[in-house]
Homo-oligomer: A and B are copies of this chain.
Amino acid sequence: MIQKIINPQPAEWESLCQRPELPVLDLQQLVHEIFTDVKKNGDTAVKKYTSLFDSAVTDNLKVSDKEIDDASVLVPEELKQAIELAKSNIEKFHASQKEETRIVETTAGVECWRENRAIEKIGLYIPGGSAPLFSTVLMLGIPAQIAGCKEVVMCTPPDADGNINPVILYAARLVGVTAIYKIGGIQAIAALALGTESLPKVYKIFGPGNQYVAAAKQFAQNYNVAIDLPAGPSEVLVIADATCNPDFVAADLLSQAEHGADSQVILLSDNEMVLDAVAIAITRQTEKLPRKDIVLKCLKNSKAILFESIEQCVAFSNIYAPEHLIIASDNADVYSDGVTSAGSVFLGNYSCESAGDYASGTNHTLPTNGFAKNYSGVSLDSFVKKVTFQKISAAGLQNIGPAIEIMAAAEQLDAHKNAVTIRLNSLKNV
């Protein structure tokens, strides 16, 4: 059921890298309307859309401390321990991304450095639906806490009874989210971007979501709000050679395929037997999956491609620029140097994508849809600004001042030049 392609010519590679065309809703008008309403009517507008779209009536948009206390009791101990392990690993990896301040004396008397400053107010969006995506709460909340963001506001849609899944609430408290609101969809993004009586206006919005949420995040940028990443469906590309385990590879492809019919999975190999063995394993494993229907739809968009060498596989992968890249080979280390564009890379036969999705420590918020060519995934960097500082002594300015005067004059910026000249002259008179 996965389409097999043998030795495509390089001229065809670009078109093989095309993601499936999605039916794009034109949501501009709707998003604009809801933002305008929320700007004008605040909480009242937010409640109106919550009732309309989520069929939920909520008197209090904000989740109370008691609700979080109560939720905590409902989370099984085994799950709490699993979350604790994941949290510990995510913390270790993201804490290692802290940047030491390094003062560089570029010229005698001229010191330059960077200091990290947390983005003070951020918003996290966590989708609702049948499955509670508490892992995303960890992936966004933990680096925010390490960065030192002061206000970490979370929005997630309530169910029809006005409740939030207890594991979401438990995870949010665990990672220091400062306020949780029962709001979903476009109205949640509007509330975060604009502020209301209940919600502070935030400076950056993080988190996944459906097309409505994605369109709203895009639009929020018109209100000087930053966003984590452009949106797109999830995807995995697996490069497998003769040393792979076809059952493992099939399981990895299927774990991506269950995300949704618009997900894409790609398998590359230099060995046709690997492609065939994986195809057989996919058929066998799919039968047992509860999300079989979704998986089958996704596999229709997917491809298994034979190349002449693993180097060719890597070259193709760099053009595809996958969100997740698994190198299922005992020689993964050797091949990984050639990778130029990917969100997160999984090396070897035991590094499955679901490890990175939950608990290895890397972030699972990654560039999709080819954006790995120009964007990094979410990391500690996403929660800070790197502010540059410079401290120039009188002697330092005497060293670089004449060059600045010459350059400013050549750019016809006389006042720029004068800011140096007036200082250098004052030093001559000492």
Within 8 Å of chain B (Cβ to Cβ): is A27?
Answer: no
**Is A274 in contact with chain B by the CB < 8 A criterion?**
no
- Nearest-neighbor residue (CB-CB) of A92 within chain B: B106
Contact partner, A374, options B347, B355, B385, Cβ 8 Å: B385
User: Known contacts A102-B96, A391-B332, A423-B352: does B413 contact A374 (CB below 8 Å)?
Assistant: no
Contact at A411–B224, with CB atoms within 8 Å?
A: no
A411–B135 CB distance below 8 A? yes
A44 smallest CB distance to B (angstroms): 23
Given A85-B400, A89-B110, answer yes or no on A390-B255 (Cβ-Cβ < 8 Å). no
B112 & A358 in contact (Cβ 8 Å cutoff): no
Asked if A429 lies at the interface with its beta carbon under 8 angstroms from chain B, I say: no
Asked if B350 contacts A415 (CB within 8 A), the reply is no
Asked if A339 is at the interface (CB within 8 A of a chain B CB), the reply is yes
B106→A361 contact, CB < 8 A: yes
With A132-B411, A254-B418, A411-B131 as contacts: A390 and B114 at CB distance below 8 Å? no
A10 in the interface (beta carbon within 8 A): no
Instruction: Judge whether A354 is part of the interface by a CB distance below 8 angstroms.
Output: yes
> By the criterion CB–CB under 8 Å, are B360 and A226 in contact?
no
CB distance from A32 to the nearest CB of B (A): 13
- Do residues B403 and A385 form an inter-chain contact, with CB atoms below 8 A? no
- A221 in contact (CB, < 8 A): yes
Interface centre among A230, A404, A408 (most CB of B within 10 A): A404
Minimum CB distance partner of A118 in chain B:
B340
Q: Report if A414 contacts B (CB, 8 A).
A: yes
Q: How far is the CB of A128 from chain B (nearest CB, A)?
A: 13
> Are A369 and B224 touching (Cβ within 8 A)?
yes
Q: Are A412 and B356 in contact (CB under 8 A)?
A: no
- Asked if A86 contacts B403 (CB within 8 A), the reply is yes
Closest to A425 in B: B247
Beyond contacts A226-B371, A247-B426, A259-B413: 7 other A-B pairs, Cβ-Cβ < 8 A, are A120-B373, A134-B411, A204-B374, A251-B418, A376-B386, A379-B386, A379-B388
Chain A contacts to B: CB under 8 angstroms: 78-79, 81-83, 85-86, 88-89, 92-93, 96-97, 99, 102, 104, 106-107, 110, 112, 114, 117-120, 130-135, 167, 203-204, 221, 224-226, 230, 245, 247-248, 251-252, 254-255, 257-259, 285, 288-291, 295, 332-333, 336, 339-363, 367, 369-377, 379, 381, 384-394, 396-397, 400-404, 406-408, 410-420, 422-423, 426
What are 13 A-B contacts with C-beta separation under 8 Å? A79-B407, A86-B407, A119-B374, A135-B411, A251-B422, A251-B423, A255-B419, A333-B391, A345-B390, A350-B397, A353-B419, A376-B384, A381-B386
